[in-house]
Amino acid sequence: MSDSRPTKTPAETSATATATETSPQTPAQTPEPAAKTARTAKTASTSGTAQTPGTVRAFAAALLRRPLPRPGWALRAAGLAALLAVPFYFEAFWLQLGLFVYATAVAALGLTLLLGQAGMLSMGHAFFIALGAYGYTYLASPAGEDRVGLGLPPLLALVLAVALTGVAGLLFSPVAARLRGIYLGIASLGLVFVGQHVLVGAEPLTGGVNGRDVPGFALFGFAFEDVPGLTTYVLGVPFGREERLWYLALAVLLLAVVCFRLLVRGRVGRALRGVRDHEVAAAAMGVNVVRYKAYAFLASSMFAGLGGVLLALAFRRIIPDTFGVIMSVEYLAIIVIGGLGSAGGAVFGALFVASLPAVLERYVSQLQGSGAESGGLTSAVLAKFVYGAAVVLIIVFEPGGGSALRDRLRRRHRRGDDRPGPSTSLPLPPLADEQGVSTTERP
């Protein structure tokens, strides 16, 4: 049987003996293998001058496996920049439509908070929107011969109108604390009928059936309304009422979204989700169910009131028929299409429902006829069919709405980032050992 142990060359034997003789005072040590001694000497001789091929290869592989940064914030910044540039390139029709979308989205945040986070069905959202719109109109309008008003500064009138809707929500919260499900929905629906009766009957306050003009908005002396004989130009583009209100409504929407997310991600949001999932368990964990239901109605009604003020500024004139049962149903469709409990879903649903009728009316002149007179479908009726069918399809195929679809695509994208890309699977060049022979193994 042959001995498999490695044999030392004469050069290695002499090198070991020389190292032992030069350090006579050191304790006796176990001699290291010759191959390891030679590699150590070679590494020490080449360090500081050039890196080994193995180090370069490991560094290149680490760079290839490093995932690219996700473009989330970049996309948000690009979207915000595009919204800021809209008044410079689009006509008044699209700006007016954008004002409606912004106002609808702000009000929809209140309903998606109430239903999506707290699990409380409300069919009276139109009542709180009307209260905010008419409250601002009454507080900001000067008193006239046949109309009453306080003539307050517009900013103060806006704040007081939102506070007024919050108080109304608190007054209704004891009823909401004792009812659940469809019973709460029917009880809140009664607010809409009561509101319609008051809006039509209180003519000095609301203008009756014909409605009432909405006073313009001003902020720290800057008027958002058109001034006769004065035109403001920005980069050569005339900036009128719609252009100015566009930026105001955009700022209000961004502020409302930030407040919504802070509320949902905080202690109040966790308590509301606990009440939504199981009231008994939430109460056992120390959550005051009645109090947090009141908080939910307070916040929801204030969002609705703020949306009502923006809606009144966009309409210029408000009438009672606008704030009926149909508006409450439309807001339910908005949050279902967008996704319950999501701020982005509320914005998406508002964009879909608020803009679809106007866009169809602009570009679709007839469908199976020439309009209602010939028995065909008008654009408004077609829009109701389209988003009604969208509600059914979303409930069947994606119960979570547009926000759930977005989350699914985001998770799929993240899983794709975790997988190695095509570049990482390419074979790297082989290394060369000390004798210059190509090998794929590391030393």
| Cα gap 358→49, rounded to integer Å | 72
- Cα–Cα distance, 375 to 362 (Å, whole number): 20
> What tokens appear for 74 in the block?
């970049």
> What pLDDT is recorded for position 229?
74
Quote the pLDDT of residue 311: 94
Successive 10-residue mean pLDDT values, the chain, 443 residues: 47 45 44 48 45 57 51 79 89 91 95 91 93 94 83 93 94 88 91 92 89 89 78 80 91 94 91 89 89 92 95 92 92 88 89 84 59 56 75 78 74 61 41 44 42
d(CA 275, CA 173) in angstroms, rounded, equals 15
What is the predicted pLDDT for the residue at 20?
A: 44
Q: Quote the pLDDT of residue 24.
A: 43
Q: What is the pLDDT of residue 377?
A: 63
Query: What pLDDT shows up at residue 428?
Result: 39
DSSP string of 98-122, one letter each residue:
HHHHHHHHHHHHHHHIIIIIS----
pLDDT tens for each residue of 252-269: 999 999 999 999 998 988
- Per the CB < 8 A criterion, the answer to whether 348 and 402 are in contact is yes
State the pLDDT at residue 416: 57
CB atoms within 10 A of CB 304: 33
Q: What is the pLDDT of residues 284-342, one digit of tens each?
A: 988 888 899 999 999 999 999 999 999 999 999 999 999 999 999 999 989 988 888 88
The pLDDT score that the predictor gives to residue 436 is: 44
In contact, 263 and 269? CB cutoff 8 Å: yes
pLDDT at 248: 93
**Rg (the chain; Cα; Å):** 35
Query: CB neighbours of 123 closer than 8 A, spacing ≥ 6?
Result: 185, 186, 188, 189, 192, 325, 328, 329, 332
pLDDT at 435: 44
Whether the CB-CB separation of 340 and 401 falls below 8 Å is answered with yes
Q: How many residues does the chain have?
A: 443
**Rounded to whole angstroms, what are the CA distances from 163 to 136, 158, 301, 304?**
11, 9, 9, 11
Give the ranges where 2-153 is alpha helix by DSSP (H).
10-21, 34-46, 53-65, 72-89, 92-112, 125-140
